[in-house]
Amino acid sequence: MLLNFGLQAQSLKIQEWHQAKDITGDTVNLLFYDNSFHGWQSLNIEIFLTNKSNKQIVVGAKKIEYNKISKASHTFCFAFNCYDEKTYISPNYDTLKAGASDSSFSAHFLFQDSVHPASIYRTAYVFYDVANPTDSSIVYVNYDSRRIIGIIENSGGDFFFSNPFPTPSNGTSTIRYQCNKNFTMAMINTLGQTVFCGAHKLGSGEIIIDATHLQKGIYYCNILMQGGTRITKKIMVN
């Protein structure tokens, strides 16, 4: 099927999932934080879609790669399914009523930092009305796999929590952290049920998430710091 992406009416608004920042037609830069872990790494983005039209639409998703990726893989998840790097157009769709939102999309750049030639890899994601593909919205993402020294996701330098890696996971995933306060982390499924919860002391370290006993799907890692600051990380389990 030939799809024509004209980027005209833009019934779909694209937001960054954590901060709810509107990134429709914008460029997002993802930096690789130097966590001194030499192995499989991931740069991840989670996207929140909203149907701005006054009618129900069936939404499709597509990725466009602008760089040849060596010794790495680029994957994405949509409509509660995850695909390998060879999938460019999602075979599954999501139906959104007027004003409704979808939080199932996430994209992942996976690489082994000990052998991967570090560079910037540009990818676009297009979300479109399946019945009218010219009604579509786009966002561009620059995945920078060059090693960056220092904390690049923080709040006044007080804390850093990496995204879970690897994700999707069928075994264990890790969140690396640096935090000057005690905190708890609860893992929640899409029904709002707590899968497990643990307490952690201030300092630096790793949170190891054992996903071997979990069913396939999306889970949310709710991190609550002493004082009330809350961070949410999303993880896909295969």
Residue type, 187: M
The single residue listed with the structure tokens 């879609």 is 49
The predicted pLDDT at position 1 comes to 34
Tell me what percent of the residues of the chain surpass a pLDDT of 70: 87
* pLDDT tens by residue, 156-194: 446 777 778 777 777 788 887 777 778 888 888 877 778
Residue type, 100: A
The single residue listed with the structure tokens 């005690």 is 182
For residues 173 and 179, the answer to whether their CB atoms sit within 8 Å is: no
* pLDDT tens by residue, 31-84: 776 555 667 788 888 898 999 999 999 999 999 999 888 888 899 999 988 898
pLDDT band at 149 (very low <50, low <70, confident <90, very high): very low
Distance between CA atoms of residues 39 and 37, nearest Å:
6
Q: Which CATH class is domain 12-148?
A: mainly beta
Tell me whether the CATH fold assigned to 12-148 matches the one assigned to 159-237.
Answer: yes
Q: What is the mean pLDDT of residues 194-222?
A: 80
The predicted pLDDT at position 37 comes to 62
Q: What is the mean pLDDT of residues 130-155?
A: 76
Distance between CA atoms of residues 61 and 125, nearest Å:
7
Question: Angle CA(129)–CA(131)–CA(132) in degrees, nearest 5?
Answer: 65
Question: Angle CA(133)–CA(27)–CA(129) in degrees, nearest 5?
Answer: 15
The predicted pLDDT at position 7 comes to 45
Measure the N-to-C terminal CA separation of the chain; round to a whole number of Å. Answer: 29
Tell me what percent of the residues of the chain surpass a pLDDT of 90: 31
Q: What is the mean pLDDT of residues 202-218?
A: 80
CATH topology of domain 159-237: Immunoglobulin-like (2.60.40)
Q: Where are the domains of the chain?
A: 12-148, 159-237
The predicted pLDDT at position 66 comes to 93
